[in-house]
Amino acid sequence: MDFASELDLLIRARYPLIYVVTAEEERAEQAIAQVARRMVYCWDFVEGYQQEGVDAGTARSNPLQALEFVERARPETQAIFLLRDFHRFLEDISVGRKLRNLARRLRSQAKTIVILAPRLVVPLDLAEEMTVLEFSLPGAVEIDQEVQKLLGERNTLSGSEREELVKACQGLSLNRIRQVLAKAIARSGSLDSSDVELILEEKKQKIRQTQILEFYPATEAIADIGGLDQLKDWLIQRGAAFSDQARRYGLPHPRGLLLVGIQGTGKSLTARAIAHHWHLPLLRLDVGRLFAGLVGESEARTRQMIQLAEALAPCVLFADEIDKSFGNLQGGDAGTASRVFGTFLTWMAEKTSPVFVVATANDIHRLPPELLRKGRFDEVFFVNLPSQIERAEIFQVHLNKLRPHNLRAYDLERLAYETPDFSGAEIEQVIVEAMHIGFSQNRDFTTDDIVQAIAQIVPLARTAEEQIVALQQWAAAGKARSASRKQGLLGSLQRRLDSSE
Lowest mean pLDDT among 300-304, 404-408, 429-433: 300-304
326 vs 281, which has greater pLDDT? 281
pLDDT value at residue 295: 53
Average per-residue pLDDT in the chain? 86
pLDDT value at residue 239: 82
Strands (E), 370-470: 379-383
The confidence band for 214, taking pLDDT boundaries of 50, 70 and 90, is confident
Cβ(428)–Cβ(435) below 8 Å:
no
Q: Global pTM?
A: 0.73
The confidence band for 12, taking pLDDT boundaries of 50, 70 and 90, is very high
∠ CA 73-78-80, rounded to 5°: 85
Q: Kindly report, residue by residue over 118-131, the tens digit of the pLDDT.
A: 888 889 899 999 99
Task: For residues 192-219, give the mean pLDDT.
Answer: 78
- Tell me which architecture the domain covering 3-134 has in CATH: 3-Layer(aba) Sandwich (3.40)
The confidence band for 294, taking pLDDT boundaries of 50, 70 and 90, is low
The confidence band for 497, taking pLDDT boundaries of 50, 70 and 90, is very low
Residue 105: CB atoms within 10 Å: 13
**Residue 189 predicted with pLDDT over 80:** no
- Distance, CA of 13 to CA of 141 (rounded, Å): 29
The domains of the chain are located at 3-134, 140-210, 222-383, 388-420+424-458, 466-500
Neighbouring C-alpha atoms within 13 Å toward the C-beta of 103: 17
Task: For residues 162-172, give the mean pLDDT.
Answer: 81
Q: Kindly report, residue by residue over 93-111, the tens digit of the pLDDT.
A: 999 999 999 999 999 999 9
Residue 35: CB atoms within 10 Å: 19
Q: Helix, strand or coil for residue 307?
A: helix
User: Would you tell me which CATH number, out of the four given (1.20.1440.80, 3.40.50.11810, 1.10.8.60, 3.40.120.10), belongs to the domain 388-420+424-458?
Assistant: 1.10.8.60
201 vs 393, which has greater pLDDT? 393
**Residue 452 predicted with pLDDT over 90:** yes
pLDDT value at residue 488: 47
Q: Kindly report, residue by residue over 406-428, the tens digit of the pLDDT.
A: 999 999 999 999 999 999 999 99
**Residue 30 predicted with pLDDT over 90:** yes
The confidence band for 493, taking pLDDT boundaries of 50, 70 and 90, is very low
Lowest mean pLDDT among 14-18, 234-238, 443-447, 452-456: 234-238
Q: Helix, strand or coil for residue 96?
A: helix
Nearest to 254 by CA among 265, 262, 264, 243: 243
pLDDT value at residue 499: 52
Rounded to whole angstroms, the maximal C-alpha distance in the chain is 91
**Residue 498 predicted with pLDDT over 70:** no
The confidence band for 28, taking pLDDT boundaries of 50, 70 and 90, is very high
Cβ(87)–Cβ(116) below 8 Å:
no
Q: Helix, strand or coil for residue 132?
A: strand
**Residue 390 predicted with pLDDT over 90:** yes
- Distance, CA of 489 to CA of 483 (rounded, Å): 9
Cβ(27)–Cβ(138) below 8 Å:
yes
**Residue 381 predicted with pLDDT over 70:** yes
The confidence band for 487, taking pLDDT boundaries of 50, 70 and 90, is very low
pLDDT value at residue 328: 63
Task: For residues 381-398, give the mean pLDDT.
Answer: 93
Q: Helix, strand or coil for residue 383?
A: strand
In percent, the amount of the chain with pLDDT more than 90 equals: 44
Nearest to 437 by CA among 420, 413, 416, 454: 454
Domains 222-383 and 388-420+424-458 share a fold: no
**Residue 438 predicted with pLDDT over 90:** yes
Task: For residues 428-434, give the mean pLDDT.
Answer: 95
Task: For residues 188-199, give the mean pLDDT.
Answer: 77
The confidence band for 38, taking pLDDT boundaries of 50, 70 and 90, is confident
pLDDT value at residue 296: 61
- Distance, CA of 112 to CA of 114 (rounded, Å): 6
**Residue 59 predicted with pLDDT over 70:** yes
- Distance, CA of 255 to CA of 375 (rounded, Å): 8
∠ CA 262-483-386, rounded to 5°: 55
Task: For residues 224-228, give the mean pLDDT.
Answer: 88
- Distance, CA of 316 to CA of 283 (rounded, Å): 6
Nearest to 265 by CA among 500, 471, 490, 14: 471
In percent, the amount of the chain with pLDDT more than 70 equals: 93
pLDDT value at residue 154: 66
In single-letter form, the type of residue at position 405 comes to H
Class of domain 222-383: alpha beta
∠ CA 465-263-315, rounded to 5°: 155
Please report, for residues 38, 84, 142, the alpha-carbon distance to residue 8 in angstroms, rounded to integers and kept in the order given: 11, 19, 20
Q: Kindly report, residue by residue over 130-164, the tens digit of the pLDDT.
A: 999 989 888 888 888 888 887 776 666 777 778 87
